[in-house]
Amino acid sequence: MDQGIGVFSIIPIFLIIWYVVCLGLGIYCFVLFVKLARRGIAALDIYIGKHKNPNNRIDQEL
């Protein structure tokens, strides 16, 4: 049996690279999700503030 560099000794290297790439993408997706959540909360605050008192609306044309 040859104990040199073969296909089976290269596979763990690719698995480690794949693990690091997936970890990086996971962190990146988490950061994007946090940014989206913060924008959503800000938009919801604006929406609630705008529609809290319907008699105080500027664009009331009904």
**Per-residue pLDDT reduced to its tens digit, 29-49:** 999 999 999 999 999 999 998
Q: Which residue has the tokens 């009904």?
A: 62
- What pLDDT, on the 0 to 100 scale, is given for residue 62? 46
Q: pTM for the complete prediction?
A: 0.64
What is the CA 23 to chain-centroid distance, rounded?
13
- Average pLDDT of the chain is 84
pLDDT band at 4 (very low <50, low <70, confident <90, very high): low
Buried b (16+ CB within 10 A) or exposed e, 28-47: eeeeeeeeeeeeeeeeeeee
Angular region, 37: left φ>0, alpha ψ -120 to 50, beta rest: alpha
